[in-house]
Structure 1
Amino acid sequence: MMQNLKRPKYQKPEPEDFFKKMYREVHDTVLTNDKYYRQNVIKSVGLLLLYFGFYSCILFFGNNTNLLFLFYILTGFTMIVLFINAFHDAVHGAVFKSKKYNVWFTHILEVFGSNTWLWSKRHIGLHHPYPSIQYWDIDIKQSDVVRIFPQSPLFNYHKYQHLYMWFLYPLYSLNWLYIRDFKDFFGSKDNYVKRVTTIPHIEYFKLFAAKIFNILYLIVLPSIVLQQPWYIVLTAWICMHVCGSMLGVIALISTHADEDAEFPMPDDNGRMTVTWAMHQLQVTKDFSADSTLANFLYGGFTHHVAHHLFPDVAHTYYPHITPIIKKYANEYGLPYTCYPFYKAVRSHFRLLKNSGKPENILFTGEI
């Protein structure tokens, strides 16, 4: 079925479409301020330096087991904040004004064991054009372990997914770097990436080189230079990923997959019933947008509606774009939702609980 799907096509906007007016206002009143651009550059470079600073502390102070775990965990937190802020913006071409510099910056992802080419294809090529559309949004559809889309197969174990995902989400970054990437490169079942593109041969080499280098400097080198058993270093490295994932997964589950989420599907000819901008509003939500700390940690995810409407804009502009989005939402009767993070997380697990149950035809009316 997946191979025969037609690429979704949105309705063309009318001459007086709300987004055309919003776009002009945002560009005329917000994007002219270079102060927010400079803030993003300083933040991105600063976070990168902080990551290597914490990593250096592992090597210098890691003979103390408590400090070893502390600096591994701080390294993990910084890694996730870098991914969510700096690298996410760079993949969108939004950290530097020069396309070349953004490309160079994204290649630092290889140091973290990721594959720049693959992430770009998944995130820019599939998630952003088609958020929350089954068979196209690869960021939401990860595996059959969790059921989110209403049209996905329902297995018996899904009735417990609102319980067991509390234990699996903290393994998110480990799954991403050491399982999911390999499935995208070598898997054949429901391979979204291979359906829309061909993987260059050089990327296979870069995939293995990045993973090996990442393990060498994060596990092997500390095991050699420190007077610590290898299993202590390995445990600290696992803690690094678990703690980082727990911080990052809040952003990943809070923006598209709550109990009131919509998952529109195109018709048999691939036609959607709304415009691209309207679709982004329907399927995207903000969380903790008024929190200074949340905005610093989660960048373009707290103001995720602004990010989906203006994906090539640095996240430091979003707190100033969101009030304009709210104004147009009120004026045109458009959907806009912003949850506190704890309500967003709670709502996501309610979605998991609801999605793990068979549909009741007495409520859906479908017979």
Structure 2
Amino acid sequence: MSTLKFSANKHSDFSKTLRSRVNAYFKTHNISKHANKSMVSKTAVMLFAFFAPLILINTGIIHHTLLLFVLYTVSGLGMAGIGMGVMHDAIHGSYSKHRKVNKYLGYTMNLIGANATVWKIQHNVLHHTYTNIQHADDDINVPFFLRFSPHARRYWLHRFQHVYVWFFYSISTLMWITAKDFVRLTRYKKMGLLNREQEYKRELFKLIGWKLLYYSYALILPLIMVPLSPWIVILAFLCMHVVTGLWISSIFQVAHVMPSTEYPLADRDGVIENDWFLHQLETTSNFSPRSRFFSWLIGGLNYQVEHHLLPHICHIHYRKISHIVIETAHEYGLPYHMKKTFVSAIADHVRMLRQLGKTEMATVSS
């Protein structure tokens, strides 16, 4: 992968001021930047919501189809909660000041069928560093039938992507736990993001082992224990992933694939025009800042601006520090994108998908 660089020192005063003010907030209030009791409680709730329904299903006492679907759906919501509100912070290193705590909580990613190692490269390294940059941000490097960047090639079928994208969102976690992790692990090896052949083989072995474990208690054991037709159990399992996929994909995509966000390109020397902090402000959008429960439910991911600027801080603090970020951005005349509700954010996301489906490939950076 060719190395991209951000302009040095541009708007550096903003980043220094922001960090200083945020640090002062935590020092003044004598609180940690990491998880608090509320975060620990949420972790317990999400783990319970995921595992408790599966345990009930695997006891073999579930005889009713509707109840089976309800339990799998609840487990799907718990899966999404773990993904957005537990492992996300842990793998960023913001859950705890202790590396081992973050490491072991990061394995909750593996328990829900995905893989912490692959996610760390995809999300922490590629997405957070090169947000919305074509070919560098793996979140917008999608299959040919989707177009998430104005710099990607446009095909005639993209005119309808705002309609059919929801199907692919609904199967996204299912594809993730079956194929995508293997594809990305191999690609990251070719990109040089895994150090040695031995490291790749070790991670591949662990990847297979974790997925066998997940499928064992999430599908194979229920097929054995539940006294219903196998096709009903499989359908309920798929329903769980439809719920999880739609929920997670919608939350993550409305933060970046929006009419208000930018899609910068590097110059011939591989340099991005702005510094990294301004780049994050221009390529990221918040939504629904007033709903505390919604924010709790989705792991603070409605405060994506704060998360991208300060990923080392646990999401439980985003609502409070968002006022500091807004004030500092406005003080320096920098953008701060935000939609008032999740519904309006979804509407703008659909609008952006339609625009990307109709507009030809951009030839210059935004």
- 2:24 alignment counterpart: 28
Residue 136 of structure 1, CA deviation: 0.8
Partner SS for 2:358? coil
Do 2:289 and 2:319's aligned partners in 1 also have CA atoms closer than 8 Å?
A: yes
The one-letter code of the counterpart of 2:350 is: F
Q: Paired residue for 2:8, among 2, 7, 12? A: 12
Give the Cα separation in 1 of the matches to 2:188 and 2:279. 21
Give the Cα separation in 2 of the matches to 1:164 and 1:108. 31
- 1:54 alignment counterpart: 53
Residue 269 of structure 1, CA deviation: 1.0
Sequence identity (%): 31
Give the Cα separation in 2 of the matches to 1:284 and 1:331. 19
Equivalent residue pairs, number: 356
Partner SS for 2:298? helix
Partner SS for 1:89? helix
Give the Cα separation in 2 of the matches to 1:76 and 1:206. 23
- 2:360 alignment counterpart: 359
Do 1:30 and 1:321's aligned partners in 2 also have CA atoms closer than 8 Å?
A: no
Give the Cα separation in 1 of the matches to 2:334 and 2:109. 37
Residue 358 of structure 1, CA deviation: 4.1
The one-letter code of the counterpart of 1:341 is: F
What does residue range 291-302 of structure 1 map to in structure 2 within 5 Å?
Answer: 291-302=291-302
Partner SS for 1:30? helix
Residue 15 of structure 1, CA deviation: 8.8
The one-letter code of the counterpart of 1:42 is: S
Q: Please list the CA deviations of residues 213-237 of structure 1 after superposition, one character each: whole Å capped at 9, or x if unmatched.
A: 2111111111212211111110000
The one-letter code of the counterpart of 1:17 is: D
Give the Cα separation in 1 of the matches to 2:359 and 2:280. 28
Give the Cα separation in 2 of the matches to 1:152 and 1:16. 31
> What's the RMSD between the two structures over aligned residues?
2.2
- 1:174 alignment counterpart: 174
Give the Cα separation in 1 of the matches to 2:35 and 2:163. 41
- 2:108 alignment counterpart: 108
Structure 1 residue ranges without an equivalent (≥5): none
Do 2:58 and 2:217's aligned partners in 1 also have CA atoms closer than 8 Å?
A: no
Give the Cα separation in 1 of the matches to 2:9 and 2:117. 32
**1:204–1:52 distance in 2 versus 1, CA, 3 Å:** same
Residue 36 of structure 1, CA deviation: 5.5
Do 2:5 and 2:272's aligned partners in 1 also have CA atoms closer than 8 Å?
A: yes
Give the Cα separation in 2 of the matches to 1:62 and 1:268. 62
Do 2:285 and 2:336's aligned partners in 1 also have CA atoms closer than 8 Å?
A: yes
**1:343–1:195 distance in 2 versus 1, CA, 3 Å:** same
- Stretch deviating more after TM superposition (87-96 or 165-174): 165-174
Residue 62 of structure 1, CA deviation: 2.1
The one-letter code of the counterpart of 2:303 is: H
Do 1:112 and 1:210's aligned partners in 2 also have CA atoms closer than 8 Å?
A: no
Residue 135 of structure 1, CA deviation: 1.1
TM-score normalised by length of structure 1: 0.91
Does residue 209 of structure 2 align to residue 209 of structure 1? yes
Partner SS for 1:356? helix
Do 1:159 and 1:357's aligned partners in 2 also have CA atoms closer than 8 Å?
A: yes
TM-score normalised by length of structure 2: 0.91
Does residue 83 of structure 2 align to residue 83 of structure 1? yes
Q: Extract structure 1 runs of 4+ deviating beyond 6 A.
A: none
Do 2:159 and 2:354's aligned partners in 1 also have CA atoms closer than 8 Å?
A: yes
Structure 2 residue ranges without an equivalent (≥5): none
What does residue range 1-367 of structure 1 map to in structure 2 within 5 Å?
Answer: 6-13=2-9, 17-30=13-26, 32-34=30-32, 37-60=36-59, 61-186=61-186, 191=187, 194-198=190-194, 200-339=200-339, 340-359=341-360
Residue 12 of structure 1, CA deviation: 2.0
**1:348–1:64 distance in 2 versus 1, CA, 3 Å:** same
Give the Cα separation in 2 of the matches to 1:197 and 1:331. 38
**1:358–1:282 distance in 2 versus 1, CA, 3 Å:** closer
Do 1:59 and 1:222's aligned partners in 2 also have CA atoms closer than 8 Å?
A: yes
Give the Cα separation in 2 of the matches to 1:62 and 1:320. 44
Residue 44 of structure 1, CA deviation: 1.8
Do 1:121 and 1:193's aligned partners in 2 also have CA atoms closer than 8 Å?
A: no
Partner SS for 1:7? coil
